[in-house]
Amino acid sequence: MNLILPSVMGFFYNKKVKIYFLFFSINIIVFSLLIYICLLIDSHYSYKIENNVSNRTLAVSSEEEIDLDKILDIEHVKNAYYRFVTFGVDGNDGINLTINYKSVEELPTLKYGEQLSENDDCEKIILPEKIIGKERTIINLEELAGEKIKLSAGEIEFEALVSGVFENKNLSNMFYINSKLYNKLIEINNNVCNKRNAFLIVDEYKNVDTIMNMLENLGYNSNIYDTTGKNDINIYQITVLIIKVLIGIALVSNLIIISIIIDSMLQDERQYIAILKAIGYRVKDIVKIIRNRTLLLIGISIIISYIISMGVSGIIVNLLNNVLSENIILNIKILLMIFAIFIIVLFFITYILIFIKRAKIKNISAIELLKE
């Protein structure tokens, strides 16, 4: 028996179908867009956090000399090095700088100039554009770019070429040296390092807390050195929580709506179901009709919701970028993935609910309803 025609006829026969359709579509649009925007934010900040090495740089301290070998043996520790003593810039009173030695791939992005390289033919450094000097005054170091400067700390002196300048929002006094200069300084004087203070780089941000706990077990104090990225981390963590809550609410709300739709169909169309039974339709056939009608309603709602969401998503992302001052990129694939998951989940929910409500259909008596 062909069940397509009665399914479609029943779909238009129900007077409340337009209300169901509107309410269901609005629900899908709202939740899909909210989840979509949260996933975009999550993806954007996740990438931003992982690519900002400051979020994975830990400052380690101890009352005794730190054993770098023990730290480097810890899984997920990418690099570790002692903190250098503070140097003054010759001829520039009030400028105190501390060397931060990192591998080339962990260097900050330059505002201008040339980046450090393992193949540099001379001793080079890159400086922050601004630092806080004596009496909390801000000192601009951009003018030193391209210059050869002399730095000193007690008896230790060296010259280096300032190959570039990087943006320094937190105004820290850290500057970076290449491998050639690092090796030279160690040869000059091993005391150039403060061995009770060190830095380490964690491979991924998600492993930071684990590494900090392991350092504590070794008797070392540790914390994230540069907290300027803390705001990004907070936004990321809040967004992850919101996504989980939205998914939970979306599942529950859609479960309730589909259940109401099916119950309403069964209640409003008891006589229609009785007629189908009277003309020979089995309970199994009627279940298929109700199921097909519900799936048809869901399918049309999702298609229209997807079209509307595509048009609205671009506007929302632009507003979001203006509010957060970020560059979140529109990704239609994520939106398509959300709707694909919606289709699978909602179809599964429909099958489960229809199976549960099968007893109601079975209890509808064709003879009693036709007598009314």
64: its two tokens: 């005794």
Instruction: Centre a 10 Å sphere on the Cβ of residue 14 and count the other Cβ atoms it contains.
Output: 19
Which residues contact residue 283 at a Cβ distance below 8 angstroms, ignoring those fewer than 6 apart? Answer: 277, 358, 361, 362
Please report the pLDDT score of residue 220 as a whole number: 92
CA-atom Rg of the chain in angstroms: 33
Count each helix (H run) and each strand (E run) in the chain, helices first.
Answer: 11, 13
What secondary structure letter does DSSP report for 169? Answer: T
Phi, psi of 31 (to 5 degrees): -70, -40
What single-letter amino acid sits at 42?
Answer: D
Pairing assessment for the beta strands 124-128 and 174-177 based on DSSP bridges: antiparallel
Query: What is the pLDDT, as a whole number, of residue 282?
Result: 82
DSSP characters over 3-53:
-HHHHHHHHHH-TTHHHHHHHHHHHHHHHHHHHHHHHHHHHHHHHHHHT-G
Question: What would the two tokens of residue 86 be?
Answer: 């503070």
Beta bridge partners of 350: none
pLDDT of residue 4: 47
Please state the pTM of the whole predicted model: 0.58
Relative to beta strand 156-166, strand 124-128 is: parallel
Cα-based distances in Å from 303 to 19, 291, 306, 335, 342: 17, 18, 5, 12, 11
E strands in the chain: 57-61, 77-84, 86-89, 96-100, 110-113, 124-128, 130-132, 138-140, 148-153, 156-166, 174-177, 193-202, 221-224
Give the pLDDT confidence score for residue 191 in this predicted structure.
65
pLDDT by residue for the chain (372 residues), tens only, comes to: 454 455 555 555 556 667 777 777 888 888 888 888 888 877 777 777 777 777 788 889 888 888 888 888 898 888 887 777 777 776 565 566 777 665 555 677 788 888 888 888 888 888 888 877 766 678 788 888 888 888 887 677 778 898 988 887 766 777 888 888 877 777 776 666 777 888 888 888 888 889 999 999 989 998 887 766 677 777 777 888 888 888 888 888 888 888 887 787 777 777 777 777 777 778 788 788 888 878 888 888 888 888 888 878 778 778 877 776 677 777 778 878 888 888 888 888 888 888 887 877 777 665 555 555
Reference 297, options 270, 260, 332, 336; nearest CA is: 260
